[in-house]
Amino acid sequence: MPELMTRSERLHPEVRALLEMMDAQGAPPLETQDPVEARSARLEPMKLLGGQPDELGRVEDLTAPGPAGDIPLRLYASEPGGLRTALVYFHGGGFVFGNLDTHDAVCRAIAKESGAVVVSVDYRLSPEHKFPAAVDDSYAATVWVAANAERLGIDKHRIAVGGDSAGGNLATVIAMRCRDAGGPALAAQVLIYPVTDVSTFETGSHRELAEGYFLTRAGMEWFTGHYLASVDQKRHPEASPLLAPNLSGLPPALVITAEFDPLRDEGEAYAQRLKQAGVPVTVSRYPGMIHGFVSMRGVLAGGRQAIQEAAQFTRSMKG
């Protein structure tokens, strides 16, 4: 029988080369940095890994009223005119970093591939603004987009929420808030390697992939420590949606995970709970990929493929 491939051999060659380059640069571990320092150091690399931004017919910076002042938004559409499917997008970055610019290329790509209007939300970051500030901003932005759908060129019956990593967490929570508040009605959720449980980092993927694959267990502890105001919030369903008692009545979901991501198992466990609650779910695990691969679309073909899948899902959702 042929020998089983080692874990390193199962990494996609592009991912292996990227990890080797990152190791060679010798950046200090995330958990040794203060948040402001980490935020600044990652801004340009995140933009570079995102690749060349697509040209679109319509890109607008807007604001929505929020609980603590205006929330910056950026609207993307491949071309003006008509009422289109929409995706309200929450960026990743562990609730500590990321902004409209770090995810500009990703949002442009989804808008171009899907033909949908994508609205990126610049929610407040931790640790300056602890949980649930990011949730409150994301919900307020979603409500505002739905209320202003026609003016924004959006079909109000076909609005989805989505995001990557921390943004995937926010998308799950906003879907639950909208359900519990009786609206706005959402047509779908696009969850890209979402954070679904910060109460424990003891899943198989957290243990097996604790270090050496970009996102580390120590990094997750650092993010969570900055995001939450107290330890008891770890089990709050708006921090750990996997622990929410009721997932029924939520919109159909696409859940994208990566084989070499510590968050893989909790993302797939959330998808399984959605299925058990009667929610239509598509789960796509990308072999050989690591956490953040969609935001690395400029250097990883897998990231570009996942964006195409997310775009197709967004395009095909029904109101």
88 burial (CB, 10 Å; 0-12 / 13-18 / 19+) is buried
Would you call the peptide bond into 127 cis, given omega within 30 degrees of 0 as the criterion?
A: yes
Is residue 4 helix, strand or coil? coil
CB-based contacts of 29, cutoff 8 Å, min separation 6: 216, 218, 219
Helices and strands (DSSP H and E) totals, the chain: 11, 8
Q: How far apart are CA 189 and CA 168, in angstroms?
A: 9
206 in active site: no
Q: At what angle do helices 301-316 and 13-25 cross, to 10 degrees?
A: 120
Helices (H), 62-165: 104-114, 133-147, 149-152
261 in active site: yes
Q: Among 114, 126, 165, 240, which one carries the catalytic annotation?
A: 165
- Whether the CB-CB separation of 86 and 119 falls below 8 Å is answered with yes
- 166 vs 68, 85, 225, 301, CA distance in Å? 20, 23, 14, 22
165 in active site: yes
Q: How far apart are CA 283 and CA 269, in angstroms?
A: 10
Q: Among 12, 206, 226, 291, which one carries the catalytic annotation?
A: 291
Q: How far apart are CA 119 and CA 111, in angstroms?
A: 9
- β-pairing, 253-260 vs 188-192, is parallel
Q: Among 104, 136, 261, 265, which one carries the catalytic annotation?
A: 261
Cα dihedral 53, 55, 58, 62 in deg (nearest 10): 20
- Could you give the residue numbers annotated as active site? 165, 261, 291
